[in-house]
Structure formats: structure tokens, C-alpha cells
Amino acid sequence: MAKSKKSIFFCQNCGHEENKWLGQCPVCREWNTFVEEKITASGNPKSVLASVKEVEILSLNDVETEHEERIYTKIGELDRVLGGGIVPGSLILVGGDPGIGKSTLLLQVCRELGGDQRKILYISGEESLRQIKLRAKRMGEFSETVFLLSETNLEKIQGVLESRRPEIVIIDSIQTMYSEAVGSAPGSVSQVRESTNVFMQLAKGLGISIFIVGHVTKEGTVAGPRVLEHMVDTVLYFEGDRHASYRILRAVKNRFGSTNEIGVFEMRQDGLKEVENPSEYMLEGRPENASGSVVACSMEGTRPILIEIQALVCPTNFGMPRRTAAGTDYNRVNLLMAVLEKRIGFPLSNHDAYVNIAGGIKMNEPAVDLGIVLAIVSSYKNRPLDEKTIVFGEVGLSGEVRAVNMPEQRVAEAKKLGFTTCILPEASVKMVKSIKGIRVIGVKSVNEAIQLL
């Protein structure tokens, strides 16, 4: 007997389909990611040849490229990450840990855009209208053009969007939406994929900019199929410890701008406040005359950020030394310590080493290598470095200090914050000669930098 329904197994990580359960996904190689879902067999497909004549094909030279007017949110850090503002008709996914500030940021977007008399609809599937109102009262007054809807039925939401035609829509969250045409429970692979597909068609067809809030897994990625990130135009991630005061907004995908920019916010009682100078914010509370503390400079897109690198090196009490890295790559720290032991002759194999980037920020740019090396040497020798000195440069396996990109912006940022000396690769010195008021010293090797300091 033919069955009207059958079971299909989906990989929650990449969306791959199989007819039976597998322990490991053959596509993404992840373990225990397959879930079973019931699907209904569809009818006969329509003839494709009948609609071929209706398809319009254009030459690449005939496609118009008019400048798209963006919608500015008046939140400078968010506009920076989006590439200059919201593109009409775009679909934006916002992910992050619970309590990190996703709903707070989007409610602030509603408040700012409502002041321009733009029609905004906030759709919540997790909170009641009263809960949203209580959170909104802490932020201030809202315009009458901001509307709320507490609904999870996808068909009803689609009808409201087609009839009311708002300019901006907030979906909080995509895991709570469900379609009656899909038999699985809300939050499943099929429901998330179907809901995102419907919102994508509404955004492109009606010219509505839609923000989608997505839950994250314990690994920090958006819950649901990986295809969810491929369907949207922009993917934003909130980073940072929710118990700390600052938040970092990072774009991991952006069809309308760069993915290298970050936005820095500070969580306060009345919402998220922009941090216009992250370098000054990250260097607050630096210790004075403490060994193992070095200021380095990292680039996030076009923005230089000064960070404090701390290191603690002490003799080990066990046969195997302990290595710990917070805020930077653990393997990179081990590599740099091996360079110090082989090229400089420091006996670090019998010492524990703890490296930390103060403030909890994560930096993996190679330009912080020289800062990590000098912080380890400063702690090992127990000699503090000059507080007005900043360093940056990539360290190779031969102990050489290699050039990094955009040294002019890094030196200019250091000068603006009151630093008097900058140690950088010798190959980058000629690019910063035009900057006056700060002493620039070029080094070719790690040994030269250590002897200098």
C-alpha cells in the first residue's frame, strides 16, 4: 500500500537529507546531527516547458545599477557593520547567546526609525506585548508608527505583511514560527527553512527589510540548518560575555558591504550605548609598572583597535608545562613560545604560560604576534615595559618581524591616545614617515625588539 507520508532524516548542521538515520553526516562530517521529520508527498510537478516563454533573459550590460538608497538607523555602530545602513528588501539574520542584547538592539532600531515616521512592525513569538512594552519603557518614548504583533502562525503573519505593507519588520524569533503546511514542530529543520523562505520572498517581493532573530547552539552558531545562513543577505553575530558590560556586533556575511567591520556597544540600564572609541574603552584600568603587560594594535576592517596583552610566565611544578590562551589562538601562542625557545634561547619548556587579551575581546590577527612575544618576555624577565609604547607586527618561524597592512592607521590611532613610541616592522617604517609627534622604531627580528626594550 502506498503511503501518503514518509520519514526523511535531515542534518541539523548542513541540511543534508537521507532516507535513514546516520551517525555521521556524509557532507559536513558532523556526528549525531540527523533528526527525523515527517513529510507529505507532493503532487505531480507542473510542466516546465509551458512557462519557458514567460522567462525574461537580460544581457549583463543591460542590467541597471542604480544607487540603492539605504535606510540609516541612526545607530552608527550598526550602520557601520551593515555597510552604511539597511538596504530596502534585505533579509538580515541576527544571532547571539541568550541575554546578549539581540532584542534590545532591534527594539532600539524601532525607536530610532520610528522617529522618522517609518512604518515598523515588531512580531514576537516568545514575549507577550506587555513584556515588550515594559522593556521599551526603559528606552524612552516610541513613535506611533511602531506596531506590535504577538503571533507565530506563518500564514497569518504573511497576510498581515501583505495588507499593512510596513517598511521594517522584526521577527523574534525564527525558531518560534510555524507553517500549517509543514507537519513538523516549530523550531525543526523543515519549519525553520520554510519560514525563512517565506520571509525571503516577502522581503524581495514587497521591498520590506526584515530582521530575523536566531537562537544559537552551544557551539555559538545559529540553531537550525546551515542553509539558513545561505538564504539571508546578512548574518550578524553578537559576541561577548553577557555578564560583562560591552558587546561586539560582527558581520560574518554581508552581500551589501564588508564582513570585516565590527560594532562595539555597552549594555546599560536604558539599552545599548555605542562605544565610539573602542581603543580607549579597552585600555581602561591598565596596571602601572607591571611586567607582562604590552599594548598592541589590531585592525577590524578599517578601524584600528588598541588592546592590552597580558602574559604570566612562571616555573612549572609538574612534568608537563601548562599553556592557557584567552582571547587569542592557543596554537599561535605555542608557536611563538617555540620561536622564543629556538631562536632566542629562552628555556620556556619548563615554564607555565598564561596569555590573556584584557577585556575579553577575541583577536586572531597576525599583527598581535609581536605584542604576545614581548609580553611573554617581559613576564619571564620580570621587567615592565614603557607604558607609552605600542607594538605590532607578524612574527615568522625564523624569528623575523614581517610587515602588516594599514600601518598608518595603527600609528595614527596610537598617537591620538597619547602613546609616544611605536615599535613596528622595518618594512612598514617608510609608510608612516609622514606621521609626526610619535617616535617610530622599525625592527627586523624578535631579538632586535627584545634588545631594544
Binding-site residue numbers for ATP are: 96-103
* In contact, 203 and 89? CB cutoff 8 Å: yes
Rounded CA-CA distance 200/198 in Å is: 5
Alpha helices in 292-404 (DSSP H): 330-339, 369-381
Tell which residue, 358, 383, 349, has the closest CA to residue 305: 358
* In contact, 193 and 229? CB cutoff 8 Å: no
Q: H or E segment at 212?
A: strand 209-214
Peptide linkage before 173 cis (omega within 30 of 0) = yes
Per the structure block, which three cell numbers stand in for 186?
516549530
Binding-site residue positions:
96-103
447 in helix, strand or coil? Answer: helix
Indicate the DSSP class of residue 345.
-
Backbone angles phi, psi at 212, to 5 degrees: -115, 125
Q: Which residue has the cell 508527498?
A: 41
121 in helix, strand or coil? Answer: strand
Rounded CA-CA distance 253/451 in Å is: 43
